[in-house]
Structure 1
Amino acid sequence: MSFHESLIRGLYDRLAERYIADRPSVPWSERPWLDRFLTHIPPGGSVVDLGCGAGTPIGRYLLSRGHAVTGIDTSPRLIAHCRATLPDGDWRVADMCTLALSRQFHGVLAWDSFFHLGHDAQRAMFPVFRDHALPGATLMFTSGAEHGEAYGDYHGAPLYHASLAPEEYTRRLADNGFSVVDRVFDDPDCAGHSVWLAQRTH
């Protein structure tokens, strides 16, 4: 684990209550992408949410649509909140980078979480995505628009982000059996997110 990644893990657990208060109770800008993601998943299909945070709004929305949700986060405080408020989900304290659940899902989601990992950790995630994706499964994650690193600020704490180049994401997806369904950079209808939607083809 890099220094940057350890900072992120500590930040979200330390500021868990603020994060819970900051997140809206319903998906706003994320909803069109979540709906696109779900069009590729069968009714009642399973989704693993990597970096699920407080479970709201995304986990709550997926559950409301009838899907079986397994949420993964490194913050014990956030997972405790998920278990208390969304008991229909399966919420686990774990590190997405070393995840090995010995099962596969219809959907793999890493929204506003994967991009907190450093470059090498992101590269190592693509086999993790593959290992948890059923044949034909859908993968969606957010990234930056170009190779680089950046810091934001969250209640006075530095918030690390990193991105690979789009060409590298495309190559690593292909190398792990995924084809790109769509990608949009700096989506103005989604608060400037850069979003990847892919499907496991082999």
Structure 2
Amino acid sequence: MAERGGDPGPGDIPATYGRQAKSWDAGRSRALFERRWLDRMSEGFGPGATILDLGCGGGEPIADYLLGRDFALTGVDIAPEMLELARRRFPRAEWIEADMRGLALGRRFDAVLAWNSFFHLDPAAQRAMFAVFSALLAPGGRLLFTTGPAAGIAIGRVGDEQVYHSSLSPAQYAALIEANGMAVRAFVAQDPDCAGHSVWLARRAA
């Protein structure tokens, strides 16, 4: 399925991940190549530190790792089929069905994570998300997210269906981070030590 009968768009994401939840989850790497970045994000955190995972999927391996370090995890996903997997595996975490766009939970977190999820939004929605990220972060809180390495739109796959991705330029992301009360701490495009992911780490002003 695709928006307007053509290529898939951001509006197709919830239904696509719902249909492909079990297939996507079965093929999701558990190698935890993300660990180095997760450790940078949570450096200095003690047990009970609060982490919000936007686009949490089925919870493996990222939620599993963070819960294993005794952090207080809240996972958000737009696909109830994904959350069903996560809830069954990790009942002690909090799981919320919601759209990250405009998300307001009435509380702030020590870290916000959007790993391979934020880049399914269109460029306008991505720009608007930085105010949301900032509002969800406690003073001094950290933001970890992935993007494409350069501005553009790409069509990938989830299971046997196509799926939309988009990215702004690195300069645009850096400007949006700064404009929303945060500072860039690290950016690596197509990190060879992280399965080629382009990764950002930012920190909200204290």
Asked whether the 8 Å contact 2:32–2:62 carries over to 1, the reply is no
Asked whether the 8 Å contact 1:27–1:58 carries over to 2, the reply is no
The CA RMSD measured in Å over matched residues stands at 1.4
Q: Which residue of 2 aligns with 1:20?
A: 25
Query: Aligned pairs, how many?
Result: 200
Give the TM-score, by structure 2 length.
0.93
CA deviation after TM superposition for structure 1 residue 40, in Å: 4.8
Identity %: 46
Matched, 1:106 2:106: no
Matched, 1:168 2:189: no
Q: Which residue of 1 aligns with 2:98?
A: 94
Q: Secondary structure at the match of 1:39?
A: coil
CA 49–136 in structure 1, closer or farther in 2 if over 3 Å, else same: same
1:61-100 mapped onto 2 (5 Å cutoff): 61-100=65-104
Matched, 1:30 2:40: no
Q: Which residue of 1 aligns with 2:147?
A: 143
Q: 2:125 aligns with which of 121, 127, 142?
A: 121
Asked whether the 8 Å contact 1:27–1:61 carries over to 2, the reply is no
Q: Secondary structure at the match of 1:151?
A: strand
| Counterpart code for 1:135 | P
Unaligned 5+ segments in structure 1 are none
Matched residues in 1 for 2:87 and 2:78: separation?
A: 14
Matched, 1:154 2:158: yes
CA 118–40 in structure 1, closer or farther in 2 if over 3 Å, else same: farther
Q: Secondary structure at the match of 1:103?
A: coil
Matched residues in 1 for 2:172 and 2:98: separation?
A: 27
Asked whether the 8 Å contact 1:177–1:200 carries over to 2, the reply is yes
| Counterpart code for 1:98 | G
Unaligned 5+ segments in structure 2 are 4-8
User: Which region of structure 1 is more displaced relative to structure 2, 42-51 or 103-112?
Assistant: 42-51
Give the TM-score, by structure 1 length.
0.95
| Counterpart code for 1:56 | E
Matched, 1:39 2:40: no
